[in-house]
Chain A
Amino acid sequence: MEYAIVTKNLTKVYKIGKEQEIRALDNVSIKIRRGEFFGLLGPNGAGKTTLTKILATLLIQDAGEAWVNGYNVLTDPDKVRKSIGWMQGETGGRALYWRLSGIDNLRFFAALQGVSSKVAEKRIWAFLKFLDLDKDAFRLVKDYSTGMKMKIMLIRALLHNPDILILDEPTVGLDVESTLKIREFLKTISRELDKTILFTSHNMYEVEQLCDRIAIINKGRIMFIGSPIEIKEKVESLHIVQIQLRSDKVTLEEMIRDIERSPYVTKILNYYETGNVYNVRVQVEDPYLAISDIANILRGRKIEKIERVLPTLEEAFVKLLGS
């Protein structure tokens, strides 16, 4: 079986009141390969959570079909549940028993998942230790930080060692160190254990770092599926030029004002200072004319670099959504 997750024309409509309805998913068809780290990107209300909930058997679609690990979500929900580990980070750690300790939460869910006590105990302690929670294992969850709760939720999703992980914003609210650790860990289990990971996030950098492929979803429709590089290349009309200039005798504001004088510059995308170098990213109409024009405007200044670059995933994402 080549694919871990397949959806075919998946459609979900929520009825609001008697007449109004929201089309949360509109003919969504995706194929996620076994062992693939797959990202789902989209603005709020795009349909990401609806899709993950259908795949996690929490929601029934109105039309179309979906298979997880080869099992149909409608006809074989029990087998689908055995195959998946589900985590919803959006809740910010709410979906735990706050009056129980972290370890009691995990032991309870291990029992529900049918993991033997002996194996569960080993796994729980290993995960807790790995995610630096072992010392807080016996504290009540109500006294945990959001990050700690999120880690417990992630461990919970992994306890029964599922083939597929469906992680809805798993790093929301985590500190930088924990985020990095979790990212590394997810990357490793995807690579070493051939786990398939469906991952939603608002953090473009994270998605770009982790995911083999990405689907961009908006208003319930899949707009694009491909690798991060392919997505960037897809937005051909988005031309970006990056300028680096030594900060001698000029302020960053003056430099930006100068660059804005070029008729080819349509938008200043971002600017920052590193050491004594100013960095400015601009969106332009014609990159070649823009580069020579900007170079001309900045003549006499110490230009380190001026080049055409690929858009960031975030820029490509905004462009795709805009179009």
Chain B
Amino acid sequence: MRCFKLTSESEVIKLLESEKVSRTSKIFLFIRRIIAIIYMQLKILMSYKMQLFLDLLDVIINVLIYFFLAILVDPTKLAELGYSSDYLAFSITGIALSRYIWNSIARISHRMQREISIGTFESIVTTDTKLSTWVIGQSFFGFIWSSLWFFGTLIAGYLVGAKLTTNPILITEGLLIVLLTVIVHFGIGIMMAGMSILHKQIETLLFVFAVLIEFFGGVLYPLGLLNKYPILYYLAQAFPFTHGLEAFRKIMILGYPITHPAVYTKIFALLAFLPIFFLSFIVLEHYYEEARKRGELSSY
């Protein structure tokens, strides 16, 4: 590590006189800031060793729970509803994707609340960095970190016998579906982060959202079961997660390609939710401005 030997006041003054205007392009600055946010978050997270261990334990315990649960589930019933007879693969894909999405969304809001409560949020927004850049950086980190949980769950499930495709092309297609699902939910995460600036504690809302995607997304049961309850069935279609998970399962469990009607119709449905992503930045800006009016950017 370089350590410049400048000690006197005049040398510090000279140094400040030396460079004033940054000639870096906006795109490079944006990328540098995103990397700085991800790196900072990673360093903070790495300082919580116990947290890392508990996350790993969480993956293992979850997979084991559904491994034993799968023994109890009647495989013919599952197959009748349009899936393979492997409930372990069914539940593992559901849990992996729903937790991935929820963790990523919750992380942005939690981080926002944390920054506000420790007082760093004000310091961030007085810098040259736009709030949207900071939120995108935090979201990237959230999705990158949560993806470890996501892949960990899928791999652990596969290792204990979940019948998931190993075809690299299908896996790539499955990941594309995940990416699209992430982008749509990215918008929801940003909106919730915006709300957390003003309303601070939005834990209940996040919890309700987690329960809703778990129920309406068909995380642990096939959505076909809801056919008897049309209202619930149509409500389920209002959640982008439902379509993302359906497409992901069709690829990973049944081995359908992306060109299969059962998959691409779900992709179109997901795309219909894409405006949420763009809308989210308007919502974020609205809450931020409102918080600036009310003096709510800090809560000492």
Chain A proximity of B13: nearest CB distance (Å): 5
The majority secondary structure among interface residues of chain B is helix
A88-B3 in contact (CB<8A): no
Is A84 part of the contact surface with B, judged by Cβ < 8 Å?
A: yes
Whole-angstrom CA separation of A193 from B10 in the bound complex: 11
A125-B4 in contact (CB<8A): yes
B9-A185 in contact (CB<8A): yes
Is B77 part of the contact surface with A, judged by Cβ < 8 Å?
A: no
Is A119 part of the contact surface with B, judged by Cβ < 8 Å?
A: yes
B127-A113 in contact (CB<8A): yes
In the complex, the chain A residue whose C-beta lies closest to that of B29 is: A114
- Interface-lining segment among A2-10, A93-101, A213-221, A267-275: A93-101
Interface range on chain B (Cβ under 8 Å from partner): 35 or more
Interface centre among B20, B40, B47 (most CB of A within 10 A): B40
B6-A104 in contact (CB<8A): no
Interface string of B277-300 (1 = CB under 8 A from A): 000000000000100111101101
Is A86 part of the contact surface with B, judged by Cβ < 8 Å?
A: yes
Is B122 part of the contact surface with A, judged by Cβ < 8 Å?
A: yes
Whole-angstrom CA separation of A58 from B126 in the bound complex: 7
Whole-angstrom CA separation of A14 from B295 in the bound complex: 8
Whole-angstrom CA separation of A62 from B4 in the bound complex: 47
A161-B16 in contact (CB<8A): yes
Interface string of B229-241 (1 = CB under 8 A from A): 0000000000000
**Number of A-B residue pairs with CB-CB distance less than 8 Å in the complex they form:** 144
Whole-angstrom CA separation of A159 from B33 in the bound complex: 15
In the bound complex, residues from chain A placing their C-beta under 8 Å from that of B47 are: 99, 140
Interface residues on chain A, number (Cβ under 8 Å): 55
B44-A99 in contact (CB<8A): yes
Interface string of A68-101 (1 = CB under 8 A from B): 0000000000100110101010010011111110
Known pairs A59-B292, A86-B122, A193-B16. 18 more at Cβ < 8 A?
A14-B295, A58-B125, A59-B295, A60-B289, A81-B125, A95-B123, A97-B120, A109-B123, A111-B35, A112-B33, A112-B134, A114-B22, A121-B2, A125-B2, A130-B9, A158-B16, A161-B16, A192-B13
Q: Which 5 A-B pairs have the closest CB atoms?
A: A95-B119, A111-B36, A126-B6, A112-B127, A125-B4
A residues neighboring B (CB under 8 Å):
14-15, 50, 53, 56-60, 78, 81-82, 84, 86, 88, 91, 94-100, 104, 107-109, 111-116, 119, 121-123, 125-127, 129-130, 134, 140, 153, 156, 158, 160-161, 184-185, 188-189, 192-193
